[in-house]
Amino acid sequence: MQKILTHLWFDKEAKEATALYVSLFPNSKINKVTTITDTPSGDTDMVGFTLAGKDFMAISAGPYFKFNPSISLFAVFDTEKEIDEVWNKLIDGGKVLMEYQKYPWADKYGWLQDKYGLSWQLSMSENHKLEQKITPLLMFTQGMAGKAKEAIDTYTKLFPDSKIDMVAPYEKGEGDTEGFIKHARFTLAKENFMAMDSSGPHEFVFNEAISFVVKCDTQEEIDRYWAALSAVPESEQCGWLKDKYGVSWQIVPSIMDEMLTSGDQEKTERVTQAFLKMKKFDISKIEEAYKG
């Protein structure tokens, strides 16, 4: 089971957007679409999908959170034909953040926001021959600029099967504050992540539009991650929390997937109404609701 999944929050476009994304990459598919009713956002579509061999989640839950470039999906390619095709499809209706061209670090690279606002960095480079084709990249901006290394240390100590793979700080005169992280790669629970600092005049910071779902088998595990990560009490709701760096997480029971996709609408509604009342999830109460 994949322990940590990237979760995308859309207004109404989760099904449409994920259909586009799975069409772009090999080893991709829509796994399950579930509609849950009577939530604060009304009826919401939840989409489980696989992108280049990794599981993701998406939800259509209203216009409350908007994507921004603080978290990008960094995708690597082996051929110019492949990267050209994906760039051309993602930029349709979107906007360029960094021009798609050759750079000192890449034969081809570009940064864009697609028509749904989701940020992508596409790269073809000998320096980016990564086992994981699509990797979340966290950019620490504004008051969190300079905190990337601290955050990486915190996360890798918290999750099992984690390690720091590479850290490249800015050198003096290199374009940002000396010692800030220019590029880092790290592994959390066997999943690859990237991070960087940027002290530029960015108007964006981390928000709930992209969060990371942590699947837990026991209440003890939920309690441990919740205690270690939650730093903003007013952001605690329905298993969601925000850590001290502003990154959003969802700490959820592994069994929730089965409960919400069982096909039994009454069970789904009971579980939904139970967890909507919770901040930190209580597995025993959710199981009671499922059983009725």
Q: In sequence order, what are the beta bridge partners of 53? A: none
The string of pLDDT tens digits covering residues 102-152 is 999 899 999 999 999 999 999 999 877 788 999 999 999 999 999 999 999
SS3 content of the chain, % helix, strand, coil (to 5): 25, 40, 35
Q: Which residue has the higher pLDDT, 6 or 130?
A: 6
Shared domain check, 154 and 85: yes
What is the pLDDT, as a whole number, of residue 276?
85
The string of pLDDT tens digits covering residues 255-281 is 988 887 777 778 888 888 888 889 999
Q: Domain of 181: which CATH number?
A: 3.30.720.110
What is the pLDDT, as a whole number, of residue 136?
98
Average pLDDT over residues 161-165: 97
Contact 212, 5 (CB under 8 A): yes
CB-CB neighbours of 78 under 10 Å = 10
Last residue of a domain, one of 169, 197, 225: 197
Rounded Cα gap, residues 106 and 110, in angstroms? 10
Reported pTM:
0.95
Number of domains in the chain: 2
The string of pLDDT tens digits covering residues 22-61 is 999 999 999 999 887 777 777 889 999 999 999 999 999 9
Shared domain check, 287 and 250: yes
Contact 221, 228 (CB under 8 A): no
Q: Is residue 78 part of a domain?
A: yes
Domain of 191 in residue numbering reads as 71-197
Shared domain check, 104 and 184: yes
Average pLDDT over residues 229-250: 97
